[in-house]
Amino acid sequence: MENEILIEKADLISAVEKLLAEKARFGTASCVDLGDKFEIIYHFEPQESVEPLKHIRVVIDKEETLASISSMYLCAALIENEIQEHFNVQISGIALDFQKRFLRSKESPESALLKPIPYAPKPPARLPVRCGEACPAGIDIPRYVRLIGEGKFAESLAVIKQALPFPGILGRVCFAPCEDNCRQAKQEEPIAIRMLKRFAYDHASYEEKATAKQSGKRVAIVGSGPAGLTAAYYLAKMGHGVTIFESLPQAGGMMRVGIPSYRLPRKILDDEIEMVKNLGVEIKTNTRVESLDTLLKDGYQAVLVATGAHQGIKMGVEGEDHPKVMECIDFLGDVAFGKMVKLGDAVVVVGGGNAAIDSARTALRLGSKEVTILYRRTRAEMPANPEEVEEAIKEGVKIEFLAAPKKVFSKNGAIALENIRMKLGAPDASRRRRPEPIEGSEFKVDVDSVIAAIGQAPEVPEQFNIEIGRFGNVIVAEGDTSATSQEGIFAAGDAVTGPASVVEAVGTAKKAAISIDIYLGGRGVLPVEEIKVKEPTSRHTFLERWQEKREVEVSIVDGSVSVSVEKKRTEMPSLPLEERPGGFDEVELGLTEEMAIAEGQRCWRCDLEQ
């Protein structure tokens, strides 16, 4: 409605007094049952009838009492009596109070002369939202954020579990494309969606429901990373027997060997893997699969290849085969499995992605005193998560932008790295400006170790006998079905997309699980628990919800006025910088209940009907 004022209950009388002083005429009032609240709207006609109507809106809890405005507008007593009787709203001080018998006859005291129109509040139609559409896993983001804002943590976790198996993991490591697409991101204050996901996992529990009737079909999954574990989770819940084959000593894939424990504590990873195993999934570690045909001959009716992208890409410079030059995934994997890694004091990490940042921060925790990242573009082009980059800088990592390695020198066991300055030219295939070397700008640095983190690629054995793409060594799989060139063989995760994120791997694995279920004779419907929780009945428009999320306060010479000051995004509490060196304790400490509720209430609920 145009020309409306949304006020608190305590401000109703003063607002009406102001309209009375302006000689506005009272028209009528209306009431809407919002489920657990009432919304009462008073309609006024300004003195000059050419002006638009003015509306005062007030929302109260059902047990609250609202003050009558009939002491100022006597005619309002009639509609207030009617609202009081129809909706059982408690209104005090009505000038002519009929004690809820306004609509009943003397002869038939129990029968209303006017029957109220039956009203059952319905949830408003929901619209597609940018945050939800950006989520590769398809989480109902506005719903779980709203539930946290209402203090319903278990219900929020259940909504998240409708779309993905691992809220504890993704609440910590997701790169949150949803936040980039949040409307509030324009003010650099997007809703802290990832933090809230973690909060729901940390502060609530979820009981996995029984799986479907056993189908008698068996599925083999090669790889226990995010894609393999996700597919196993859903296929097991669909009733299929699932066995995962993992070549590493422990399950988790890149989540274990590529993400340090200060970002993803091993207890969280192990707990969520254990949850998958509790569904009946068998995981065979230290087991390398050489032939997919052998798995089919062993009685598996379908196979999913989810081997990830663990093969490091060479820097392509002279001398990089020196023992003191290591690939980042090998380095992070050795640290993850507790192997002794000696880096020395001076370490250079080459690359600009998350793996480079993780390697640099890990090197500091292992005792290296001077850790420098060498990146051939500027910070604006850096693909790493900006928050992780900022944390690395805070911890003491130096970043040398517009520089690239040219040659590794070695003499008497020591090494030095010759680099060259770069400039940015025209955009390349990645849509980033292509780095070009500046002739004569070479410079040399003495180092103890070099860690190459310029990228990873899938490593698919030739014996798998499935079609491989022309570039990137990725498996060719149909986009809609995840099927490969071989009957009964499917693929998902980084093995298909190339190096991506955990949440993107989860999204591809869900699609693969659906296709495999259909292939095995199922309906291809992911098991989703129905969440029974009271939905919003507000008919507020987006603009109204946006206005309610703003705070007041500022005074000027004439008195107090309302000024729009947006509530700020909650900041994640973190481990003090002085406590980080020498250990791998989790850096992000998690939101408190008060912080999470406040953050949930910042959401504009763009999904509600406009």
Closest to 496 measured CA to CA, from 469, 463, 464, 465: 469
**Residue 564 in this model has a pLDDT that exceeds 50:** no
In this structure, the number of other CB atoms found within 10 A of the CB of residue 201 comes to 26
pTM: 0.78
pLDDT over 90 for what percent of the chain?
A: 72
For residue 271, the model assigns a pLDDT of 97
DSSP tag of 607 = T
CATH of domain 314-454: 3.50.50.60
More confident residue, 399 or 534: 399
Q: Distance (Å, rounded) from C-alpha 138 to C-alpha 69?
A: 48
- The per-residue pLDDT for range 275-325, each reduced to its tens digit, is 999 999 999 999 999 999 999 999 999 999 999 999 999 999 999 999 999
For range 56-76, the mean pLDDT: 93
Cβ(174)–Cβ(131) under 8 Å?
no
Fold of 218-310+458-519: FAD/NAD(P)-binding domain (3.50.50)
Cβ(499)–Cβ(309) under 8 Å?
yes
Q: What residue ranges do the domains of the chain occupy?
A: 4-92, 218-310+458-519, 314-454
Q: Distance (Å, rounded) from C-alpha 41 to C-alpha 30?
A: 5
**For 218-222, 226-230, 471-475, 504-508, which range has the lowest pLDDT when averaged over its residues?**
471-475
Task: Tell me if 4-92 shares its fold with 218-310+458-519.
Answer: no
Most confident of 337-351, 459-473, 518-532: 337-351
Q: What angle do CA 540, 543, 546 make, to 5 degrees?
A: 95
Best CATH choice for the domain 4-92 from the list 3.30.300.130, 3.30.460.80, 3.40.1160.10, 3.30.56.10: 3.30.460.80
φ, ψ dihedrals at 558, nearest 5°? -75, -10
**Residue 562 in this model has a pLDDT that exceeds 90:** no
For residue 609, the model assigns a pLDDT of 57
**For 88-102, 358-372, 488-502, 579-593, which range has the lowest pLDDT when averaged over its residues?**
88-102
Tokens standing for residue 499? 């190096």
Cβ(310)–Cβ(498) under 8 Å?
no
For residue 54, the model assigns a pLDDT of 87
For range 428-452, the mean pLDDT: 91
**For 5-19, 105-119, 142-156, 369-383, which range has the lowest pLDDT when averaged over its residues?**
105-119
**Residue 178 in this model has a pLDDT that exceeds 70:** yes
For residue 111, the model assigns a pLDDT of 46
Helix, strand or coil, per DSSP, at residue 42: strand
Alpha carbon of residue 30 to chain centroid = 40
- The per-residue pLDDT for range 101-143, each reduced to its tens digit, is 765 545 445 544 444 445 455 566 678 889 999 999 999 999 9
For residue 544, the model assigns a pLDDT of 45
In this structure, the number of other CB atoms found within 10 A of the CB of residue 481 comes to 15
| Chain length of the chain | 610
For residue 530, the model assigns a pLDDT of 79
Q: pLDDT band for 604, please (50, 70, 90 cuts).
A: confident
For residue 2, the model assigns a pLDDT of 63
Average pLDDT, the chain: 88
**For 254-268, 493-507, 565-579, which range has the lowest pLDDT when averaged over its residues?**
565-579
For residue 541, the model assigns a pLDDT of 43
- The per-residue pLDDT for range 387-430, each reduced to its tens digit, is 999 999 999 999 999 999 999 999 888 899 999 999 999 888 77
Q: pLDDT band for 560, please (50, 70, 90 cuts).
A: very low
Which is it for strands 241-245 and 311-312: parallel, antiparallel or unpaired? unpaired
- The per-residue pLDDT for range 469-507, each reduced to its tens digit, is 876 689 999 988 999 999 999 999 999 999 999 999 999
